[in-house]
A = this chain, B = another copy of it.
Amino acid sequence: MTEGTTTYREAMREAIREAMRRDERVFLMGEDVGAYGGCFAVSLGLLEEFGPERVRDTPLSEAAFVGAGIGAALGGMRPIVEVMTVNFSLLALDQILNNAATLLHMSGGQLNVPLVIRMTTGAGRQLAAQHSHSLEGWYAHIPGLKILAPATLEDARGMLWPALEDPDPVLIFEHGSLYNLSGVPRPGPVDISHAALRRSGKHVTLIGYGGTAGKTLSAADALAAEGIEADVIDLRILRPLDDATVMESVSRTHHVVIVDEGWRSGGLSAEISARIAEQAFYQLDAPIARVCTTEIPIPYARHLEEAAIPQVPAIVTAAREAVAS
């Protein structure tokens, strides 16, 4: 194992640790973040370092502890609320939409909510319908929120601090399949405002994020073998979307494939497609293609789940067809 190697899980943990050391107003709150060490072991060891007040286990009360995070932010703290998984966040959605995202406006600018909510998202681990939702793109519909989807070690390590610095509520979605991602993170600053061009090519633009960012890169490798050079964009921030990066790429490649683990209809892929059709319509040489999750509750059986969510071969085929047409 080379010097400086880390995992996505450890990078996220380091980011939390650093923030808590750096600012006493920061605390971590959620189900089993303390004694258990975090459902996905992200907060392992933090209870020992910071104690039960700042690494705060909560009862199974999503609405109350997410809302309490909003209140604590209003009271001058900088809470990091962990909702174990996006599947359970629906129980707190009223607090997120009607309070966190809305208070600043309803109060005429008096009450900003400097809150960070972290949650695990995504399918791919045979956890079945109620534990496999990919709703980060759905959350991106809500004005007043910022939505982040770290897909790299650098973003896992670097996005939390600017999120905590942000005066408004920021939701961070960690795809469950990424925690064991490992490598040596590249140094350098991390912003929470721009999409990233992960690879450059002139024939087609592949757009992914979170759980699909890696798959788009693998697809680009496969396409390169066929002589198709792909621009690969990792959106990173799902709200507000960085249109400039997308349009710049489309204006060079004239072909687009959007890859989204969310359900197709009304998913984030639709918004990206609509914006391209609005802002780069005359740049398009072919219809915009979308590779999304089949519109079904995610099934348990491995072969069914694999068939339901976006996979590399489907991305490759979609890109091939886009370029061909």
Q: A: which residues have CB within 8 A of B? A: 63, 87-88, 90-91, 93-94, 97-98, 101-102, 105-106, 128-130, 133, 137-138, 140-144, 239, 241, 262-263, 265-271, 273-274, 276-278, 281, 284, 286-290, 295-297, 299
Contact = CB atoms under 8 A, between A and B. Distances in A.
Contacts of A140: 265-266
Given A138-B141, A265-B271, A266-B141, A297 B101 contact: yes
Contact of A271 (B143, B266, B277, B281): B266
**Nearest 9 CB-CB pairs, A to B?**
A141-B266, A273-B274, A90-B94, A281-B287, A270-B270, A143-B295, A270-B274, A270-B271, A105-B297
A129 B299 CA distance: 37
A304 to B, nearest CB: 10
**Copies of this chain, how many?**
2
6 contacts: A91-B94, A97-B133, A105-B129, A105-B299, A270-B271, A270-B274
Given A102-B130, A106-B297, A281-B286, 7 more contacts: A91-B94, A141-B267, A143-B295, A239-B265, A266-B268, A270-B273, A278-B287
A274 B269 contact: yes
A157 to B, nearest CB: 28
A106 B128 contact: yes
B266 A143 contact: no
B297 A144 contact: yes
Nearest to A277: B277
A263 B141 contact: yes
A63 B289 CA distance: 38
